[in-house]
Amino acid sequence: MSYDDHDATGLAELVEAGRASPDELLDEALTRVQSRNPAINAVVLVQEDRAREAIRKGLPRGPFQGVPFLLKDLGAEAVGFPSHSGSRLHADTVWPEDSALVARLRAAGLVIFGRTTSPEGGIGPATEAAVYRGPTRNPWNLDHTPGGSSGGAGAAVAAGIVPAAHGSDGGGSIRIPASNCGLFGFKATRARFPDGPYAGEGWGGMAIDGFLTRTVRDSAALMDACEGADAGAPYVAPPLVKGYMAAIARPPERLRIGVCDTTFTGDPVDKDCAEAVHEAAKLLDALGHEIRPYRPKADHDGMIRAWVDIVACGTALGIRSALAGRPAEDWIEPVSRGALAHAATLSGEDYLDAIGRIHAYGRQMAEAFEPIDILLSPVMAEPPARIGRFAHRSDDYVDYRLGPHGVWPYSPFCTAFNASGQPAASLPLHWTAGGLPVGVQLAAPFGKDETLIALCREVEMARPWFHRRSPPLDKPERPDAA
């Protein structure tokens, strides 16, 4: 048995065939945590006893029976798995029952054994929360970030600790780490997965759970295991026709693919990001798809300003009651304090107006997709940022998000599809001359998840990426923290 030669589906097949046991796979994952995690600081709150207990009791005969797995340390409420949510304020929170999503992951047979790091509140494109006593680093280059907010998940999978990990995406938080870490990441259509019972929706419906994986089939099988609303959900996604795994069994029909190699407002991007798009367009053209230059027309600037207001309000909601009168400066990081202050300037009417602008944007994007079936763009405007660039040091939340050196110029593509609710994926098709991954984004109309994932699988088969791995991390020289 070679752990590195198999994705999560492949490891489950080894267990099914009796060629590996769940305990052996967990042993391997824990050994890799011990040897590789010190360099990247991605895996936290390990609960080996809980994982061994689940194995002893007998794992469900799901599609991932016996495969070791990690939950993001944000959301994914799980009995026996305390959470910090990326913050000293919420450190060691425990839960009386599993979230619906975690219950479905357990039913799939996964062996959950710990969590992965996230930035405080999930509001940054880097993962450097103070509660973890140091930044999370990119296995491809330890001086760079794996992204955020599912940065720990991306780093753990890229480092080979686990073949797949849970993440979530409210503004690119799966696709950014996928791009930065050379992985596949799929953000499904809004409300595809359950949010209950602890929440009705995240960030006005813009946030959704998902996964960081090495293969399209792992993402497909994980999403099939988790899709569908929980009882009492405020709204549901359009039903899948056959399911994700069935969709990847054959290529899609030939598609009209719009290609955007600038930002959606026409600004240039880094040459590697543009080159990644050009390479992907040539590949898709060779596969017989119809390729055309295209830039979606919508109020992108108005959307991101509404997003910033909604996220500030969501951040404040998670902070105020937990502070319970304690001074914010002692418990939360500066950017979160800035979000709290910004939220205080917004009225209920302002919040509802922001929601209305997001809904209007979704209609604009639906219209923008009428001439095309798929939009190809960069995931990011630059390759992975250096450690420290997006640390939460400033209390100017709006400037952190929208300023000339802020998150929006760095990541101007992903948030569009959180706002519109459309499915979008990051595919690892390009590396810089210095060896840093650069992903491309494919996005589809609302509800067309199966078309999108079938195309992703076709691209993966035409240009495989599974065996491209980050440099060894066992007992490296650790750089000084930034």
Active site members: 72, 149, 173
What is d(CA 294, CA 278) in angstroms, rounded to the nearest whole number?
13
Q: Could you tell me which of 172, 174, 44, 48 has the C-alpha nearest to residue 111?
A: 48
* Coil vs helix vs strand at 111: strand
Contact criterion met (CB below 8 Å) for 256 and 372? yes
HSE of 7, CA atoms in CB hemisphere, 13 A: 21
What is d(CA 99, CA 109) in angstroms, rounded to the nearest whole number?
16
E-state strands within 413-462: 424-431, 437-443
Note if the bond before 197 is cis, omega within 30 degrees.
yes
Q: Cβ neighbours of residue 221 under 8 Å, at least 6 residues apart?
A: 8, 9, 63, 64, 244, 245
- The H or E element spanning position 456 is helix 449-462
| Cross-strand pairs, 424 | 187, 443
- At which residue do the structure tokens 């791995």 appear? 469
- At which residue do the structure tokens 């549901």 appear? 236
| Cross-strand pairs, 165 | 212
